[in-house]
Every structure is written in structure tokens, then in C-alpha cells.
């Protein structure tokens, strides 16, 4: 058995072994298990049944992660991406009043477009047309957006007729539970505890149970819930509208940036990828795109490569066997529905704030001294949370970048793809 695994995953060539890969896979699993209950909570805000969403989230995580391990032989785990699921539920469904079935159609089309770009290698043209500063700004903007959602959903920030937003009722027990969850995560992150997110969620949930804020589950295990309420419910025909093109592009670009950023941060650090166009990168992106299409059929938002894969890499994981172990361990989450459903929402939303912090961390690398970069970057970061829309933030950034570069007489710096994206972005305001 060891010889077969070594031959298939090239363990010796990658300076690893079966024991290391199993430990690495288990580590990645513990650091990202939080996505199953968290995605259930977020997507339920769009009116989707939490039971079906939890089962579908576990399924797409298992399938995409195992397939990626087998196909690309990389230790990259995949699941429903944070940020775009919030955009799905809170901006498009709650904000734009789109039916969740239509938004699933948007996700399907974005995944198909992503797959087309990956297979034809057009992604390289897009990536070369968007500066590193813009990619950082987009990441920071999404981070601020989902952190704002976390603060809002916990009741720490509430609406106000005069000031638009203000501080919530800090005497409310639910709000206090959320604040406590944030502090627990701060401590765990400061101590660099593995699996800090899931440990923080469980600890905060236990506090909620003890304080009578939430009701503990009568049992921990049950058979998986049916996904029939959301399976194949996507409305692709309704998603074919000019006004929804910016949303489709937003899902596609964000998934592309997210995945390449993860591969750069995780893969290059481990010495897995030597450059952006290796076969391993290509195959990982192919699985990512197919998984997004599959996820939309199952009733989920965009699937993407998870940065938590870095935890497994730090434990020595170098091959696809790490991802296979991670995916198989997620099979156990299919039977934890009673526990996941009992977790109070304010034990989960603190994770969004911490993720926002991580996504904001590279902001210092943006060259704000260049107005053609700094002003668009600022607009992207600020407008995403203030307009409650990733699409509008991106649109403002692309339009302002092309405009400022043009009026500065720097026409040669404008890439054709950047101009096309700016024109598409105009649709977000004219038609949206």
C-alpha cells in the first residue's frame, strides 16, 4: 500500500512520507472545518434551508478537495469561499432583492467562464493586465466588506437615521456573546493555536449554551440532511441579463484572484510551484473552476482554494495525499448536523472579522503615491463595504484607474483587458 501511494503521489520525490501527509491533511481539516457551519449560517440569510446547505457544503468540500489531490497532486484543499458567499447572501439576495435561484445561475456562469479562461490560458492575459496593487486592494476591500457584515450581523454595528450606522446595544446578551467570541479568537490567534477558528466557535458556543443564550443539541450526530431543496434549483436563464454581467465578472475575477493568491502564498512557500504557469497550477485551477460549477448545481456559492491549506503545508504536506486526507475527514461533518444547527450565529460571525483582518494585512504594499493606483485602490476598499457590493467597488476602481491613467497622458500603460473591464464596470452603474 505504501509503495502504491508513494508511486502515485511521488512522495519520495517531494521529500515526504505517508505519516507526514496524514498529519498534514488532518491539520488542514481542523483549520477549515469552520466553513461548514459558517456557510450554513450565511447562506440561510438568503432564505436557503440551513440543513441542505450544510450537507451540500460538506459534499462539495469532500469532492473538490479529494479530486484536486488526485488530479493536481497538490496539498490544496477547496471549499465554499468566504467573501463571495457573503456577497451572494447579503448583497445580491438581501440587498439587490435577487432570488437565490438566479444568483446560483450567476455562480454557474462565472464558474463556466473561469473554466474557459483556465483551459484556454486566457487567465494569464487577465492577470498581467491587473496590477499587483489592484489585487491587494480587491483582497482588502473584500476583507473589510465581510468584516462589516460580521459586525452588523452580531449587532455590534446597527443602522441609525442620522449617522447611517452607529454602535449597537452592548448590553444585549447576544451582542456580548459575539464580542466574547472575537476576544477568544484574538487570544487563540495571538497564541498561534492550530484550528483557532473551530476552537473559538466551539468555545463561544459552549458559553452561549451555559448562559442560556442558545439551546444545546439533544444529540451530536444524525444522518445527513437532503439537499433536494437546493439541488439543481439554479436559474441560468434569468441570470442571462446585461445588468448581471458585472456580478458574473465579479464572481469570476474574485475566484481567480483568490485561487492564484492561495497558490502563490501556499505553493511557492512550500516549493511546490516554481512559476505561475506550471502544470500543477493549471490542474488546480481546473478543479477550482469545475468545483464552482458543481457547487452551483448543489446549491452553493463559489468554491475556491483555501488559504488554510498553508497549515498542512507547514506540517510538511507536499503532495495531493494531504488534500485527499483532508477531503475524506470532511465526510464526518455530514453527520454533525444537530451540533452545527445548534451553534448560535454570534459564535460564528467573529470568524468573519478575523478573516477580514488577514485580508487587510497586505495593504501597506500598495503604492498610494501613484494616483492612478492609489485613488482606484482607495475607492475599491471603501466602496465595497459602504455600497454593500463587491461589484460596485470593483467597478469604481476599474473606471477610475482607466480615467486617471488616460487624463495623465499615460495611454501606453493601459492594457486592453483593463479598458474592457472598465467598460464592463460601467454596466454596474448604468444597468445595475
Residue 431 lies in a domain: no
The answer, as to whether pTM is greater than 0.85, is no
Residue 391 lies in a domain: no
**Tens digit of each residue's pLDDT (9 = 90 or more) over 43-93:** 998 899 999 999 999 999 999 999 999 998 888 899 998 778 888 888 888
How many structural domains comprise the chain? Answer: 1
Residue 314 lies in a domain: yes
Closest CA to 387 of 398, 379, 377: 379
Residue 111 lies in a domain: yes
- Radius of gyration over every alpha carbon of the chain, rounded to an integer in angstroms: 21
**How far, in Å, are 87, 139, 267, 318, 362 from residue 358 at the CA level?**
18, 9, 18, 24, 8
Residue 224's SS3 state is coil
Closest CA to 135 of 408, 321, 367, 308: 367
> How many CA atoms lie less than 13 Å away from 174 in the CB half-sphere?
16
Report CA torsion sign: 341, 345, 347, 349.
positive
Residue 365 lies in a domain: no
Residue 415 lies in a domain: no
Residue 305's SS3 state is strand
* Domain span at 160: 2-358
Q: d(Cα 203, Cα 201) in Å, to the nearest integer?
A: 6
Residues 6+ apart with CB under 8 A from 267: 74, 76, 273, 280, 281
Phi, psi of 79 (to 5 degrees): -165, -170
Alpha-carbon dihedral 260, 371, 243, 247, rounded to 10 degrees = 20
Residue 402 lies in a domain: no
**Tens digit of each residue's pLDDT (9 = 90 or more) over 249-293:** 878 877 777 776 666 656 555 566 555 546 777 788 888 889 989
Q: Which residue do the cell numbers 497538490 mark?
A: 74
**Tens digit of each residue's pLDDT (9 = 90 or more) over 293-325:** 999 999 998 888 887 787 777 777 888 899 999
Pairing status of strand 303-305 against strand 78-80? antiparallel
Q: What is the 3-state secondary structure (H, E, C) of 310-368?
A: HHHHHCCCCCHHHHHHHHHHHHHHHHCHHHHHHCCHHHCCHHHHHHHHHHHCCHHHCCC
Q: Return the pLDDT at 432.
A: 52
Residue 141 lies in a domain: yes
Amino acid at each position: 500500500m505504501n509503495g502504491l501511494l508513494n508511486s502515485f503521489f511521488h512522495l519520495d520525490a517531494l521529500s515526504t512520507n505517508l505519516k507526514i501527509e496524514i498529519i498534514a491533511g488532518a491539520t488542514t481539516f481542523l483549520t477549515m472545518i469552520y466553513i461548514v457551519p459558517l456557510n450554513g449560517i450565511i447562506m440561510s440569510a438568503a432564505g436557503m434551508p440551513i440543513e441542505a446547505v450544510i450537507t451540500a457544503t460538506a459534499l462539495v468540500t469532500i469532492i473538490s478537495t479529494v479530486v484536486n489531490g488526485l488530479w493536481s497532486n497538490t496539498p490544496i484543499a477547496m471549499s465554499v469561499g468566504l467573501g463571495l458567499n457573503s456577497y451572494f447572501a447579503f448583497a445580491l439576495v438581501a440587498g439587490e432583492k435577487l432570488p437565490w435561484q438566479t444568483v446560483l445561475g450567476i455562480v454557474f456562469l462565472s464558474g463556466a467562464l473561469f473554466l474557459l479562461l483556465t483551459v484556454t490560458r486566457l487567465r494569464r492575459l487577465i492577470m498581467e493586465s491587473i496590477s499587483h496593487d489592484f489585487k491587494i486592494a480587491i483582497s482588502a476591500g473584500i476583507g473589510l466588506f465581510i468584516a462589516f457584515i460580521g459586525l452588523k450581523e452580531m449587532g455590534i454595528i446597527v443602522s441609525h437615521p442620522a449617522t447611517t450606522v452607529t454602535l449597537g446595544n452592548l448590553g444585549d446578551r447576544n451582542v456580548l456573546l459575539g464580542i466574547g467570541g472575537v476576544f477568544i479568537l484574538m487570544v487563540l490567534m495571538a497564541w498561534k493555536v492550530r484550528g483557532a477558528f473551530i476552537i473559538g466557535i466551539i468555545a463561544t458556543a459552549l458559553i452561549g449554551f451555559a448562559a442560556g443564550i442558545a439551546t444545546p443539541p439533544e444529540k451530536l450526530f444524525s444522518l445527513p440532511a437532503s439537499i433536494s431543496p437546493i439541488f439543481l434549483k439554479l436559474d441560468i436563464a434569468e441570470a442571462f441579463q446585461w445588468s448581471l454581467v458585472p456580478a458574473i465578472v465579479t464572481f469570476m475575477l474574485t475566484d481567480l484572484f483568490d485561487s492564484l493568491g492561495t497558490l502563490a502564498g501556499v505553493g511557492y512557500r512550500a516549493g511546490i510551484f516554481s512559476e505561475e504557469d506550471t502544470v500543477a497550477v493549471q490542474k488546480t485551477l481546473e478543479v477550482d473552476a469545475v468545483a464552482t460549477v458543481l457547487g452551483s448545481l448543489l446549491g452553493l456559492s463559489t468554491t475556491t482554494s483555501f488559504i488554510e491549506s498553508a497549515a498542512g503545508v507547514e506540517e510538511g504536506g507536499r503532495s495531493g495525499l494531504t488534500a485527499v486526507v483532508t477531503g475524506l475527514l470532511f465526510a464526518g461533518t455530514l453527520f454533525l448536523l444537530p451540533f452545527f444547527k445548534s451553534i448560535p450565529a454570534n459564535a460564528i460571525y467573529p470568524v468573519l472579522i478575523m478573516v477580514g483582518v488577514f485580508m487587510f494585512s497586505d495593504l501597506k504594499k500598495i503604492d498610494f503615491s501613484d494616483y492612478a493606483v492609489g485613488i482606484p485602490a482607495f475607492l475599491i476598499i471603501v466602496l465595497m463595504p459602504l455600497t454593500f457590493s463587491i461589484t460596485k467597488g470593483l467597478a469604481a476602481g476599474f473606471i477610475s484607474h482607466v480615467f486617471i491613467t488616460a487624463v495623465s497622458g499615460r495611454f501606453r500603460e493601459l492594457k486592453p483587458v483593463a479598458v474592457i473591464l472598465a467598460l464592463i464596470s460601467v454596466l454596474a452603474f448604468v444597468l445595475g
